[in-house]
């Protein structure tokens, strides 16, 4: 458990009788084929070995709860996933004809003989050799996340490295390109910023701000449920970020604690835009995507969804911060779906009437209506966006190189990557992927050594 400091009064309420409120029911199997989220520092693995099965199988079960040392019981989410899509990649499925594995750790995350693409940014480009790999801090379906230092400077970044062969096998090239494109269009104090992107023959690279206070999931279940005063600040920062996305025609579509990081000052930082999508007000998306426990009913019904689906997820997220777990849990994927569609949300009596009112109507309100709700009466939104409202909880962060809030199963792993298949295709489906942020906003979320 990572220790943390708290300024002022204790705003973290212990989760009393946690073991009795959360039953341990660890399934034997679940489908790893649905994993799409590539987050910084994913949650620890379940105690039993996992087996890959088809989602269509009668044995398919979504994991509901996992046991840990402290606290006694922790709730674990389903994986993010993308359902059927009409898009068919013009690039044929890659054949694994040639594997590359080298002893040099720097070479193990890419092939250095590839030229970086011209990103149209006044000739500015970066390459893999411009960065020094420091630590592995996470791993997802398509690759890994490293802590890196830009050579010739003291700047520390997170480098998300994704294998092209895995992306193409799952036909997710368009999602990867959309993630990069969306990240280049947004600049907000509570959204992790993309600084660079580039590619080699075998991999894609996103270089982002290194936010090292741990993800909200990590802190939520190591500290217990949050009191309303602290949850209000986190919720306000998340809502501010979502409003910014919607104002720029972007839906996140996978809002959950694993996709929210805490910086060294305790602020919430939204990350992982792997399922995000640009939209216009006149159309609705029909994709089945997201994480089951946070999915809006309209996504489950497949009748088309819009940005209101994000507000539903914010409501579920707020409920979890205040009560310790999402409102719709337990059973397999189908049972969770039915609960979302049919069950009324049950709010604990210890929550304020204002919190009850906000959570019940979040999915039916606009961003401005949510900001004006009486539960946020104490929030000055201009000061919030200026980062002048300080959360009382501070993660333990000892400088910008600190990795204490990342899972040790990653940080203690040697810098050795798995081999990648050689892409055999006539045209590069990721043309134009390279990017250098034209103006760097002063970094405010990492304390110096």
Q: Read off the CATH number of the domain in which 152 is found.
A: 3.30.200.20
Report how many domains make up the chain.
2
The verdict on residue 27 lying in a domain is no
Q: Which of 8-12, 14-18, 67-71, 307-311 has the highest mean pLDDT?
A: 307-311
> How many Cα atoms occupy the beta-carbon half-sphere of 192 within 13 Å?
29
206 and 128 inside one domain: yes
Domain boundary among 394, 427, 444: 394
pTM of the model as a whole: 0.73
Q: Is residue 186 part of a domain?
A: yes
- 197: enclosing H helix or E strand: strand 194-199
Domain co-membership, 191 together with 232: no
pLDDT of residue 365: 83
> Are 227 and 263 contained in the same domain?
yes
Residue 229 shares a structural domain with residue 207: no
Q: Which of 392, 42, 20, 22 is nearest to 217 (CA)?
A: 42
- Answer yes or no: is pLDDT of 250 > 90: yes
Domain co-membership, 110 together with 219: no
* CA–CA dist 256, 42 (Å, integer): 12
Average of per-residue pLDDT values in the chain: 75
Q: What pairing do the DSSP bridges indicate for beta strands 420-421 and 156-163?
A: unpaired
* 237 within a domain of the structure (yes/no): yes
DSSP tag of 66: E
206 with 223, same domain: the answer is no
Q: Tell whether 225 and 203 lie within a shared domain.
A: no
Catalytic residues: 254
What percent of the chain has a predicted confidence (pLDDT) above 90?
45
Kindly state whether residue 273 falls inside one of the protein's structural domains.
Answer: yes
Please indicate, yes or no, whether residues 219 and 205 belong to a single structural domain of this protein: no
Cβ-contact 31, 53 below 8 angstroms: yes
- pLDDT top residue among 172 and 64: 172
pLDDT mean over 55-64: 37
Co-location of 262 and 370 in the same domain: yes
Q: Is 160 annotated as ligand-binding? A: yes
Check whether residue 199 and residue 113 sit in a common domain.
yes
Gap between the Cα atoms of 134 and 387, Å rounded:
29
Query: Are 383 and 418 contained in the same domain?
Result: no
Instruction: Report if residue 371 sits inside a domain.
Output: yes
Domain that holds residue 380: 5-18+215-394
User: Does one domain contain both 182 and 270?
Assistant: no
pLDDT, tens digit, for every residue of 306-353?
Answer: 999 999 999 999 999 999 889 998 888 899 999 999 998 899 999 999
The pairing of beta strand 65-67 with beta strand 420-421: unpaired
* Two structure tokens written together for 202: 């075998």
Domain membership of residue 39 (yes or no) is no
Domain membership flag for residue 48: no
Establish if 81 belongs to a structural domain: no
Residue with more model confidence, 431 or 59? 431
CATH number at residue 382: 1.10.510.10
């Amino acid at each position: 458990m990572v220790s943390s400091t708290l300024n002022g009064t204790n705003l973290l309420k212990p989760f009393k009788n946690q073991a009795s409120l959360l039953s341990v029911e660890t399934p034997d199997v679940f489908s790893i084929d649905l994993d799409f989220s590539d987050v910084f520092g994913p949650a620890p693995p379940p105690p039993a070995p996992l087996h890959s099965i088809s989602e269509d199988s009668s044995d398919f079960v979504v994991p509901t709860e996992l046991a840990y040392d402290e606290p006694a019981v922790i709730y674990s989410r389903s994986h993010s996933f993308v359902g059927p899509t009409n898009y068919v990649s013009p690039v044929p499925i890659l054949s694994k004809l040639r594997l590359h594995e080298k002893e040099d750790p720097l070479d193990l995350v890419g092939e250095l003989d590839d030229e970086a693409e011209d990103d149209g940014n006044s000739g500015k480009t970066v390459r893999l050799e411009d960065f020094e790999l420091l630590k592995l801090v996470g791993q997802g379906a398509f690759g890994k996340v490293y802590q890196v230092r830009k050579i010739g400077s003291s700047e520390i970044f997170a480098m998300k490295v994704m294998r092209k062969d895995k992306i193409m096998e799952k036909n997710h090239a368009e999602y990867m390109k959309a993630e990069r494109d969306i990240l280049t269009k947004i600049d907000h104090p509570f959204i992790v910023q993309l600084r660079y992107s580039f590619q080699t023959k075998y991999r894609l690279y996103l270089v982002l701000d290194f936010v090292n206070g741990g993800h909200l999931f990590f802190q939520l279940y190591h500290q217990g449920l949050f009191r309303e005063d602290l949850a209000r600040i986190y919720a306000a920062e998340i809502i501010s970020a979502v409003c910014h996305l919607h104002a720029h025609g972007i839906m996140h579509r996978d809002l959950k604690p694993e996709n929210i990081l805490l910086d060294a000052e305790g602020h919430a930082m939204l990350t992982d835009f792997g399922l995000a999508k640009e939209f216009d007000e006149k159309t609705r998306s029909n994709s089945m995507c997201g994480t089951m426990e946070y999915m809006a009913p309209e996504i489950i019904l497949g009748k088309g969804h819009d940005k209101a689906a994000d507000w539903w997820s914010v409501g579920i997220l707020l409920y979890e911060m205040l009560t310790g777990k999402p409102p719709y849990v337990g059973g397999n994927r189908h049972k969770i779906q039915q609960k979302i569609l049919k069950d009324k949300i049950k709010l604990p009596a210890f929550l304020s009437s204002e919190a009850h009112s906000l959570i019940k109507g979040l999915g039916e309100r606009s961003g401005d209506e949510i900001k004006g709700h009486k539960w946020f009466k104490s929030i000055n939104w201009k000061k919030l966006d200026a980062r002048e409202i300080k959360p009382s909880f501070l993660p333990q962060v000892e400088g910008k190189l600190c990795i204490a809030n990342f899972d040790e199963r990653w940080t203690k792993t040697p810098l050795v990557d798995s081999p990648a298949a050689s892409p055999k295709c006539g045209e590069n489906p990721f043309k134009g992927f390279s990017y250098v942020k034209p103006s760097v906003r002063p970094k405010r979320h990492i304390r110096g050594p």
